[in-house]
Amino acid sequence: MTQMTQPILSVQGLRKSFGETEIIRGIDLELAAGERRALIGPNGAGKSTLFHLISGQLAPSAGSIVFDRQRIDGWTPQRINRRGLARSFQITNIFPKLSVFENVRIAAMQRHRVQYTFWRLLERMARVREQAERLLEQVRLQGRAATLAGELSYSEQRSLELAMTLASDPKLVLLDEPMAGMSSEETQYTLQLIREVTVGRALLLVEHDMEVVFSLADRVSVLVYGEVIATGTPEEIRAHQGVREAYLGEEAAA
- Per CB under 8 A, contacts with another protein among 211-240 are none
Binding to another protein by residue 184, rule CB under 8 A? no
Q: Which stretch binds another protein (CB under 8 A): 70-78, 139-147, 219-227, 242-250?
A: 70-78
> Distance of CA 112 to CAs 118, 156, 183, 210, 242, Å?
14, 26, 35, 37, 47
The single residue among 10, 55, 190, 221 that binds another protein, judged by CB under 8 A, is 55
Binding to another protein by residue 50, rule CB under 8 A? no
Q: Which stretch binds another protein (CB under 8 A): 2-10, 37-45, 87-95, 196-204?
A: 87-95
The single residue among 86, 191, 228, 246 that binds another protein, judged by CB under 8 A, is 86
Residue with smaller CB distance to another protein, 13 or 77? 77
Binding to another protein by residue 201, rule CB under 8 A? no
Binding to another protein by residue 169, rule CB under 8 A? no
Q: What is the 3-state secondary structure (H, E, C) of the chain?
A: CCCCCCEEEEEEEEEEEECCEEEEEEEEEEEECCCEEEEECCCCCCHHHHHHHHHCCCCCCEEEEEECCEECCCCCHHHHHHHCEEECCCCCCCCCCCEHHHHHHHHHHHHHCCCCCCCCCHHHCHHHHHHHHHHHHHCCCHHHCCCEHHHCCHHHHHHHHHHHHHCCCCCEEEEECCCCCCCHHHHHHHHHHHHHHCCCCEEEEECCCHHHHHHHCCEEEEEECCEEEEEECHHHHHHCHHHHHHHHCHHHHC
Q: Which stretch binds another protein (CB under 8 A): 105-113, 151-159, 217-225, 236-244?
A: 105-113
Q: Which stretch binds another protein (CB under 8 A): 1-9, 42-50, 90-98, 176-184?
A: 90-98
Cβ atoms of 47 and 60 closer than 8 Å = no
The single residue among 10, 49, 110, 157 that binds another protein, judged by CB under 8 A, is 110
Residue with smaller CB distance to another protein, 122 or 239? 122
CA pair distance 157, 232, nearest whole angstrom: 32
The single residue among 27, 94, 175, 248 that binds another protein, judged by CB under 8 A, is 94
Binding to another protein by residue 123, rule CB under 8 A? yes
The single residue among 98, 145, 229, 252 that binds another protein, judged by CB under 8 A, is 98
Binding site for another protein (CB under 8 A): 55-57, 76-78, 81-82, 86-87, 89, 93-98, 102, 105-107, 109-111, 114-123, 125, 148, 164, 167-168
